Amino acid sequence: MEWLTGLVQARLRKGGEVKLVGSSLGGFYATWLAHQFDVKAVVVNPAVHAQHLLIGAVGEHKNFSSGEVYEFTRQHLDELAEFDMPQITKPENILLMVETGDEVLDYRQAVDYYAGSRQIIVPGGNHGFSSFMQHIPTILAF
């Protein structure tokens, strides 16, 4: 989050526009950043209250791309909790996009959490948001 915060701050200092798009855990990060810096964010099948969702992930894992083994710890959960927002305070800054067929996250939690935000709820689909390409014009316009 420190790295992401630095990127957003640098762009804002240069007078540039910042719009965020985050999926899953990236949606969790984008939500906090959008509120912290009063910028727009599109969150796609976002993780809501990530520190609770990932409790079962504590332990050893292997990076899918590099094969590197790493340990996901209770400290990581505590760090995520620092960025959790009990409720959305600037719903106008968020566009929620969920597919009801998400096999990883319950889309209804996101619909409830982002109440008041613009929402696109697509029947079916999956956690990878299979209909993403057709929503690009909407994302860019937001």
Q: With respect to residue 20, please indicate whether it lies within any of the assigned structural domains.
A: yes
Q: With respect to residue 102, please indicate whether it lies within any of the assigned structural domains.
A: yes
3-state secondary structure the chain: CHHHHHHHHHHHHCCCCCEEEEECHHHHHHHHHHHHHCCEEEEECCCCCHHHHCHHHCEEEECCCCCCEEEECHHHHHHHHCCCCCCCCCHHHEEEEEECCCCCCCHHHHHHHCCCCEEEEECCCCCCCCCHHHHHHHHHHC
Q: Are residues 78 and 120 in the same domain?
A: no
Structure tokens of 77?
Answer: 């959960």
Q: With respect to residue 6, please indicate whether it lies within any of the assigned structural domains.
A: no
Confidence of residue 64 (pLDDT cuts 50, 70, 90): confident
Structurally, the chain folds into a number of domains equal to: 2
pTM, two decimal places: 0.92
Residues 42-59: pLDDT tens digits? 999 999 999 999 999 999
pLDDT of residue 69: 95
pLDDT of residue 20: 98
Q: With respect to residue 9, please indicate whether it lies within any of the assigned structural domains.
A: no
Q: Are residues 100 and 133 in the same domain?
A: yes
Q: Are residues 115 and 64 in the same domain?
A: no
The chain-wide mean pLDDT, for the chain, equals: 96
Mean pLDDT for 83-90 is 94
Q: Are residues 42 and 103 in the same domain?
A: yes
Q: With respect to residue 3, please indicate whether it lies within any of the assigned structural domains.
A: no
Q: With respect to residue 7, please indicate whether it lies within any of the assigned structural domains.
A: no
Q: Are residues 65 and 27 in the same domain?
A: no
Confidence of residue 71 (pLDDT cuts 50, 70, 90): very high
Q: Are residues 70 and 90 in the same domain?
A: no
Q: Which domain holds residue 138?
A: 15-49+85-142
Q: Are residues 131 and 97 in the same domain?
A: yes
CA dist 69 and 32 (Å) reads 28
Mean pLDDT for 98-109 is 97
Q: Are residues 41 and 90 in the same domain?
A: yes
